[in-house]
């Protein structure tokens, strides 16, 4: 997850900026949508961790992180790949 946060997450900001300044509205929306998905899954997982800590059921916290990596990161990357293809496909024309 650290590779994702240190490399891929900041690089996708460049895709959003490129899509915005080249006028590719759909790619810009997809890129922003990927950030919304990432934020939603992260918020839900942090809320679950907080609830488990309040009830002192910390045994299930380790089960949350694999679900973040298996759901959130592929969804984020898939939306960014689609947005990237959209930007570079129309740039060739």
pLDDT of res. 48: 66
pLDDT of res. 83: 73
Predicted TM-score (pTM) of this structure: 0.44
| Domain that residue 12 falls in | 2-91
| pLDDT tens figures, 44-93 | 767 666 666 666 655 655 555 566 666 666 777 777 777 777 766 665 55
Q: Quick check: 31 and 15 in contact, CB under 8 A?
A: yes
CA 14 → CA 3, 65, 66, distances in Å? 17, 27, 27
Question: How many structural domains is the chain composed of?
Answer: 1
User: Within its chain, how far is the Cα of 44 from the centroid?
Assistant: 13
| Tokens 């810009």 sit on residue | 28
User: Within its chain, how far is the Cα of 3 from the centroid?
Assistant: 13
């Amino acid at each position: 997850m650290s590779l994702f946060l240190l490399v891929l997450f900041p690089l996708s900001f460049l895709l959003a900026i490129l899509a915005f300044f080249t006028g590719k509205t759909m790619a810009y929306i997809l890129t922003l949508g990927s950030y919304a998905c990432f934020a939603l899954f992260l918020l839900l997982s942090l809320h679950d961790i907080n609830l488990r800590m309040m009830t002192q059921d910390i045994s299930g916290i380790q089960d949350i992180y694999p679900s973040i990596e298996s759901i959130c990161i592929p969804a984020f990357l898939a939306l960014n790949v689609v947005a990237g293809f959209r930007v570079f496909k129309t740039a060739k024309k």
